[in-house]
Amino acid sequence: MVGGRESGFRINHVNESRRAFDEMHAGGGVRPAYAGIEAWLKAHGLEALAAKRAEAEALFRRVGITFAVYGEGGDPERLIPFDVIPRILARQEWDRLARGLTQRVKALNMFMADVYSKREILRAGLIPPSLVLQNEAFRPEMQGFTPPGGVYTHISGIDLVRTGPDDFYVLEDNCRTPSGVSYMLENREAMLRLFPQLCAGHRLMPVGHYPEELLETLKEAAPPNCQGEPCVAILTPGHYNSAYYEHCFLADEMGVEVVEGFDLFVEDAVVYMRTTAGPKRVDVLYRRLDDDYIDPLVFRPDSMLGVPGIFAAYRAGNITLANAPGAGIADDKAIYPFVPDMIRFYLDEAPLLQNVPTYLCERESDRAYVLEHLHELVVKLARGSGGYGMLIGPHSTAEQREEFARRIKARPADYIAQPTLALSTVPTLAGSGIAPRHVDLRPYILTGKDVRIVPGGLTRVALREGSLVVNSSQGGGTKDTWVLDDGPAPTQSQSQKMGG
């Protein structure tokens, strides 16, 4: 599934589309980055575009890029709608984002290293200790242990939304097992096949090297006791998992094994995979399995998906788990409001990316404000996944607001609230015409010895009119994300010169 912590995701900010920033047409004309798209659309028209969409769908079906949805009836292996009009960022816009993302992820990693050891940020009084220490995402088992290089979140997905030419906000951090990167890669492949000339006419910054960067990142995370070339593997919950295709795809691209829990065993605190050539030692495990399930000896004892003893092997320095157990403390919704403070505290820098203002209902003053402004706020559970327990103020009824007021008063610590944002739109092929649709952006940030980001990320688009829900299970689709390198676009691709 695209988005979320494996389990799903929604954008819950409502706006009036009238006010929304149109990334292609803002300011009365076509913004420069979209000039090539404008020209293509003028020259080829809607029908050609619709034909390309049909071609794209056939392509995705054939390759088998599906996400699995079991237990809901219907086709258990579904296709995510792909919109053929790309979402485009200028190099300059991207560079600014990339700096902000790098800064943010550095701070998040430093935060985790801190709260699992000296807790300086708590002692400095910047974050209420109870928010961290009593948080379900906080793993006491991780205390007094520093993962290789002090990295906790090796692969992060930071969800960004935009409200104006220069206004980007971080909507959510994902430091556990962010998914969707395979769509970023497949979308680009599809565009290169469907629109070779259009692509050649733009200076697209490539994304195809992501798997190599990922492999490098994982190798750099090798544990202290690793000898020689690190053996990397991906741990999947199995083929019933919605992101199973992605797990296989990344394993294939990196040339590593995709393993399930019972493919691994631990002996003398060393992790091995069972192969036809006998046990093979594993050094780095890119696990796409939640903390809870990873080791029944330490976390959920009823987990059939994990590996008994792997956590002890981890602490003994015999294997690296990426991302680290307990990394969820950094992307918790109750912690999110404090990320700008973390950046100032650990890096002594001003935050380059803004947070969406967030009210913690646990705080008395915030709570009073929230209760008075329910009709214009989005209220959500501080933790917990899925769309459960969410109130979208402007779309709510009086009864719903009363119900939420009761719940907030009963369990204030469980709720946060945010103002509604006017999310930007990008033209999208909807039904029989092109119409603006809301988008977000999830760049993937890799942290090894250095921070690496391939330009762009996954653009998710809400395909229904007025909808802000980009979740793939609720009618959300994806677009290719182009970052255009500076300088004039080449008018044609290079060709071999004959004679001379």
Partner 1 sequence: MLSRTADSLYWMGRYVERAGNLARGMQVALRMAGLASSLGGGVDEWRTLLVAAGAEPGFLAKHKEVTPEAVIRWLALDADNPSSIANCIEAARGNGRAVRTALTVDMWEALNDTWREMRAQAPTAAEPDRLPQFLEWVRARTLLFNGAAADTMLRNDGWRFTHLGVMLERADNTARLLDAKHETISGEGSEGAVAYAQWQALLRSVSALRSYQWIYHTRLQPKLVADLLILRPELPRSLLSCHSRVEQVLDRIAESNGGRRGEAHRLAGEIHARLRYGRIEEIMEGGLHAFLTQAINRNIDLGREITAFYLHG
Other Cβ atoms within 10 Å of 232 Cβ, number = 24
d(Cα 155, Cα 497) in Å, to the nearest integer? 44
Minimum CB separation from partner 1 for residue 64, in Å?
8
d(Cα 473, Cα 93) in Å, to the nearest integer? 30
Return the number of the residue (68 or 413) whose C-beta is nearest partner 1: 68
Minimum CB separation from partner 1 for residue 226, in Å?
20
Contact between residue 404 and residue 391 where contact means Cβ atoms under 8 Å apart: yes
Contacts within 8 Å (CB) and 24+ apart, 142-146: 142/116, 142/324, 142/325, 142/326, 143/116, 143/117, 144/116, 144/117, 145/116, 145/315, 146/113, 146/116, 146/117
Q: Which residues contact 13 (CB under 8 A, 6 or more apart)?
A: 161, 171, 356, 378, 418, 419, 420, 421, 423, 468
Contact between residue 111 and residue 330 where contact means Cβ atoms under 8 Å apart: yes
- In 3-state terms, what secondary structure has residue 49? helix
d(Cα 203, Cα 485) in Å, to the nearest integer? 5
Q: Which two tokens stand for residue 1?
A: 């599934």
> In sequence order, what are the beta bridge partners of 359?
417
Return the number of the residue (57 or 95) whose C-beta is nearest partner 1: 57
Minimum CB separation from partner 1 for residue 3, in Å?
23
Minimum CB separation from partner 1 for residue 70, in Å?
12
Which residues of this protein are in contact with partner 1, per CB under 8 A?
Answer: 64, 238-239, 248, 251-252, 257-260, 262-263, 265, 273-279
Contact between residue 48 and residue 451 where contact means Cβ atoms under 8 Å apart: no
Minimum CB separation from partner 1 for residue 305, in Å?
14
> In sequence order, what are the beta bridge partners of 67?
78
Minimum CB separation from partner 1 for residue 157, in Å?
24
Return the number of the residue (174 or 182) whose C-beta is nearest partner 1: 182
d(Cα 35, Cα 86) in Å, to the nearest integer? 12
Return the number of the residue (259 or 462) whose C-beta is nearest partner 1: 259
Minimum CB separation from partner 1 for residue 252, in Å?
5
Minimum CB separation from partner 1 for residue 2, in Å?
20
Return the number of the residue (276 or 432) whose C-beta is nearest partner 1: 276
Return the number of the residue (142 or 258) whose C-beta is nearest partner 1: 258
Return the number of the residue (86 or 261) whose C-beta is nearest partner 1: 261
Angle in degrees, CA 82, 83, 87, rounded to 5: 120
Return the number of the residue (64 or 208) whose C-beta is nearest partner 1: 64
Q: What phi, psi does 415 have (nearest 5°)? A: -125, 145
The answer to whether the Cα torsion of 389, 393, 396, 400 is positive or negative is positive
Angle in degrees, CA 390, 126, 177, rounded to 5: 50
What single-letter DSSP state applies at residue 386? T
Return the number of the residue (177 or 236) whose C-beta is nearest partner 1: 236
Minimum CB separation from partner 1 for residue 235, in Å?
12
Q: Which residues contact 153 (CB under 8 A, 6 or more apart)?
A: 105, 108, 109, 112, 175, 323, 324, 327, 330, 447
Minimum CB separation from partner 1 for residue 264, in Å?
10
Minimum CB separation from partner 1 for residue 231, in Å?
12
CA distances from 397 to 14, 411, 465 (A): 15, 21, 21
